[in-house]
């Protein structure tokens, strides 16, 4: 998935709900987001990222 010029790698780590998104942008820094708790992932799921 791409957000602007950033490349985003999203992984669902467990069914109980650790969703990890690694964001690597062209400046070379990496942001790791972890969402823990109940997750309900479907084709319609949207992840909003504000920087």
Give the Cα separation of 26 and 31 in Å (integer). Answer: 12
Give the Cα separation of 5 and 43 in Å (integer). Answer: 22
Q: What is the pLDDT of residue 43?
A: 55
Q: What is the pLDDT of residue 26?
A: 65
Residue 19 bridge partners (DSSP): 12, 35
> Domain coordinates of the chain in residue numbers?
2-36
Question: Are 8 and 23 in contact, with CB atoms under 8 Å apart?
Answer: yes
Q: Model pTM greater than 0.85?
A: no
Q: What is the mean pLDDT of each run of 10 residues along the chain (51 residues)?
A: 61 60 66 61 58 52
Sign of CA dihedral 7, 50, 28, 9: negative
């Amino acid at each position: 998935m791409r957000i602007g010029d950033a490349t985003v790698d999203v992984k669902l780590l467990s069914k109980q709900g650790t969703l990890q998104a690694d964001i690597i942008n062209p400046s070379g820094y990496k942001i790791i987001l972890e969402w823990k708790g109940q997750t309900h992932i479907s084709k319609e799921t949207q992840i909003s990222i504000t920087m």
